[in-house]
Amino acid sequence: MNRRDFLSTPLVAGAAAAAAQPPRPNIIFILADDLGYGDVGCFGQKRIQTPNIDRLAREGMLFTQAYAGSTVCAPSRCSLMTGKHQGRATVRGNKRPEMGLKPGEPNVAALLKKAGYRTALFGKWGLGGPQSGSVPNRVGFDEFFGYLDQLHAHNSFPEHLWDGEAEIFLTENWFNQKKTFAPDLFTKRALSFVEKASRDPFFLYLAYTIPHANNELGRVQANGMDSPDHGPYAKQNWPDVEKSFAATVTRMDSDIGKLMETLKSKGLDNNTLVIFSSDNGPHREGNHDPEFFESRGPLRGMKRDLYEGGIRVPTVARWPARIQPGRKSDFAWAFWDFLPTACELAGVKPPAGIDGVSIVPTLLGQTQKPHDYLYWEFHEGGFHQAVRQGDWKLVRQKPKFELELYNLRDDIGETRNLAKDQPALVAKLEKLFTAARVESPDFPVKPRK
């Protein structure tokens, strides 16, 4: 048998084809908590130091129009994990902290684990309490260490955390001692997870609680920002709460730098897709003033709003093997696109019935068909809705709950309501408010008076 005949045999040809395929990438999704569009340097921040996140942007792609799943944490994380927008998601609000995913509901971790990925979550889960059945280790994560529900996650110096399904007591934080800062532990576990990387690809979901305020159980504190110290801002003539806010963001940035160095030392950074984002817009909690650092950037609104400031989030992606450095994308996408994106990268078919689409073409610098529309709803303090189609956005928002129409291309700050000038367009987009959603018995819509 000559070489040509040998190479054409099915066994050898199949092996050669497999060898020619690039290895599937590792996937890391780093999620900040309540970080505003303008809170990091690459999105315009001038006073808070974020050199490592800025470096991710320089070495990868910066998304100017990336959106969270919701304007508060639990529903946003549900959209991220399940590929469904808030019109059809299981979790649509924070009002039930123990509420989790439906039994057997497809999610990113389960799909990637089935595809041969090692999976881990370190940080805030927010999609099911200990008795819910919807805890990370039961829905696809090989490893989990952190908080189960968002109320517990308000305290960054907790008295206990969860390691898998085991409760771990942090006695050094008992009696308000505040010696162990939980985000430091998440970084430590993430670094260890990467250090143990083998030939199998991995999915790491690193869900920090920074810079969320400590408003656990509704307590009001003069400085409601948990931080071990004021870091490089100790000598600034700022209120202590703002020093703490900035220090936590810079501390998270430093930890991201440690993670990137570990990837590099293991020879993994070239074929690892790292996405950094935030679960919603900036907060006004714990006496923090989002205007102090211009956290919303040029946007209107903040956490709990469906204006851009509540849902458009600072997002960057780095993947040296495939993403050209220094790119900027204005492709509009949202958290529910992450699941189909991860599935495509892992070589598995996404589940039916999701709302997201893979943004792999955009990551690779290719032209991609835009979404027909993007949809959000919010159930706290009334029923709020927003839909974006092209450059047009229709909002029904507190306190008046009147229809407001904005052209985001010309008016990113949503300052000019064009609803009276464009009645036909308002009527068209309003129909999507109904078409985009299915009723949820857990989040019923009360008729407006």
Entry pTM: 0.94
pLDDT (0 to 100) of residue 439:
96
The pLDDT, as a whole number, for residue 4 is 40
Q: Give residue 141's pLDDT.
A: 98
What is the C-alpha separation between 391 and 123, in angstroms, rounded?
35
> What local confidence, expressed as pLDDT, does residue 198 receive?
87
pLDDT score for 446: 79
Tell me what pLDDT residue 14 has: 45
Stated as kind and residue range, the H or E segment containing 341 is helix 338-346
Six token digits for residue 356: 């997201």
Q: Say what the pLDDT of residue 95 is.
A: 85
* 43-48 contacts, C-beta under 8 A, 24 or more apart: 43/297, 43/314, 44/294, 44/297, 44/298, 45/293, 45/294, 47/246, 47/293, 48/246, 48/249, 48/250, 48/293
* Contacts (Cβ under 8 Å, ≥6 apart) of 267: none
The Cα-based distances of 92 to 51, 72, 350, 428, 449 in angstroms read 34, 9, 22, 25, 23
Q: What is the predicted pLDDT for the residue at 296? A: 98
Give the pLDDT of residue 447.
66
pLDDT in the model for residue 354: 98
Q: Which domains does the chain have, with CATH numbers?
A: 24-368 (3.40.720.10), 375-435 (3.30.1120.10)
What pLDDT does residue 8 have? 43
Parts of the chain with a pLDDT under 70: 1-21, 216-220, 447-449
